Structure 1
Amino acid sequence: MLIDSHVNLHAPQFDEDRDAVIDRARQAGVGMMVEISDRLSTFEATHGLAMAHDDIWCTVGVHPHEARHHVDLTSDRLVALAKRKKVVGIGECGLDFHYDLSPRGVQEAVFRQHVAAARTSGLPLVVHTREADDVMAGVLGEEMAEGPFRVLMHCYTSGAELSKKAAEMGAWFSVSGIATFKAAEDVRAVIRDMPADRIIVETDCPYLAPVPHRGRRNEPAYVGHVLDKLAEIRGWSREEAEVRTTDAFFSLFDRIPRPAGA
């Protein structure tokens, strides 16, 4: 089974052909997708997609870019929304010090509310981190000391040191189309050292289309290219990569029933 662990199908880039995009994913062998929440104002659309399709599940959360609009967000609010059917994760949340679209202190405060929600709900935390390695490592370490929670370092392109620390905390990692980019050897080097039983794949569509589709709108049908590159990087066969990433996915997103034969 091909699984796209991170899609943004509610995005306006899909407004004209969303159903066709979903159909193409299925035709390409994608058996499951996780639709990601990036702000509460669009959560109903995100959740609606999951409810409308047997093979789509979703998360609830606020991207660090949007944290400035959610300064009053509480973990209780996230936990309440996470009780809905087909919600399987908390996030996407985290720290982005590259764009700094939200003040850094606000990003951290909102992120910690997500951590608390993940701890309370038992659902995995989908983490976005960019140019914030030291602060991210510190927050994760402090929060783990308060009580365990599961972490997915989504679309991981940060440094080797944060990767090592996160792995020691038991984190999973998702690999995106960035791994196929010619100039991304530093990303591939980190992927080679990720824990083999905790790697999954994603498109992060409509962004980050993998080679040979780079520069176009990304979609879930392209996740096989990411899987192929992961197999190449790790020295796995395509079949082994598919089995390993599928096992890792269901180990992490354990609220999703695993289909027979998957």
Structure 2
Amino acid sequence: MQRVYVDSHCHLNMLDNVDDAILHAKERGVEHFLCVAVTLDDHPELMKISALHHNVFISVGLHPNEMPNKAISAKELIELASNSRVIAIGETGLDYYRLEGDKKWQQDRFVQHIECARQLSKPLIIHTRQAKEDTIAMLASHDAKKVGGVMHCFTEDWETAQQALDLGFYISFSGIVTFKNATELQAVAKKVPLDRMLIETDSPYLAPVPHRGKPNLPGYVCHVAEYIAGLRGETIETIAQKTTENFFTLFSPPS
């Protein structure tokens, strides 16, 4: 069985050479990419990359770490996300790691993304850090289950994973799962149903073992698959096939 991988979350626009990174990935069996926005300023470059590479799809969104003076209107978000190359809304969510004081602006922005995703019937890409309770609660209270999505670069416990799964979300594992001290996350990776799992690099960040500490590349998603296969007692081919199928089931990218 030929291994075909999808990098379900990367930032190609942050790499030194997009063409080289895609070629490097293709040589390792990575055939499809979701290039994820962190600001609306990314949109023109992401559209250009996607136009040049038919197997690169993109998202539209404003990362929760982008400060409150980065305003966004629902109309603008919907207009940008209406293009067929845009297959998801995000990354969005809550990140309380460095947030001090008022959290409302971040929560309001999160709600706005959820509502736009529902209006467009496009899945959400969720970022959460030290905010798991509020993230799950807001997804539930604002009917995010109607569009679903993915908990990207998942680092939480099994209870949180179960709650996300119950809301119709997929769980995506990055290179963090290969880190020696990520024992709780590795336990989660053993339990997540195979038909609800995705893999990603989040490149250029979080390179997996054996490249930890170096710039990450989409081609390294195969190491994530290999590690999870070992954890679960599955073949690498099975992990590659199922996570690729899951990507197409969730995001329904255009052919």
How would you bin the TM-score normalised by the shorter chain? over 0.9
C-alpha separation between the residues in 1 aligned to 2:182 and 2:124? 26
Matched with 2:46 is 46
Matched with 2:98 is 99
Matched with 2:65 is 65
Identity over aligned pairs, percent:
36
C-alpha separation between the residues in 2 aligned to 1:51 and 1:104? 37
Tell which deviates more after alignment, 117-126 or 192-201. 192-201
Whether 2:21 is the aligned partner of 1:18: answer: no
Residue 166 (structure 1) shift: 0.8
Whether 2:128 is the aligned partner of 1:129: answer: yes
* RMSD between superposed Cα atoms in Å: 1.6
SS of 2:105 mapped into structure 1: helix
Whether 2:114 is the aligned partner of 1:115: answer: yes
Matched with 1:160 is 158
C-alpha separation between the residues in 1 aligned to 2:232 and 2:47? 35
SS of 2:91 mapped into structure 1: strand
SS of 2:58 mapped into structure 1: strand
Asked if the contact 1:64–1:102 (Cα under 8 Å) also holds between the matched residues in 2, the reply is: no
SS of 1:126 mapped into structure 2: strand
Whether 2:238 is the aligned partner of 1:255: answer: no
Tell which deviates more after alignment, 78-87 or 220-229. 78-87
Matched with 1:5 is 8
Which digits, 9 at most, give the CA deviation of each residue in 1:187-219, with x for residues without a partner? Answer: 111222222211011000000000000000000
Residue type at the aligned position of 2:6 = I
Residue 120 (structure 1) shift: 0.9
The ranges of structure 1 where at least 4 consecutive aligned residues each deviate by more than 3 angstroms after the TM superposition are: none
Asked if the contact 1:133–1:159 (Cα under 8 Å) also holds between the matched residues in 2, the reply is: no
TM-score by length of 1: 0.91
Asked if the contact 1:47–1:58 (Cα under 8 Å) also holds between the matched residues in 2, the reply is: yes
Q: 2:233 aligns with which of 207, 232, 235?
A: 235
Bigger relative contact order (CA 8 A; separation at least 6) = 2
Change (3 A) 1:27 1:112: same
TM-score by length of 2: 0.94
Matched with 1:194 is 192
Structure 1, unpaired ranges of 5+: 258-262
Structure 2, unpaired ranges of 5+: none
Residue 64 (structure 1) shift: 0.4
SS of 1:65 mapped into structure 2: coil
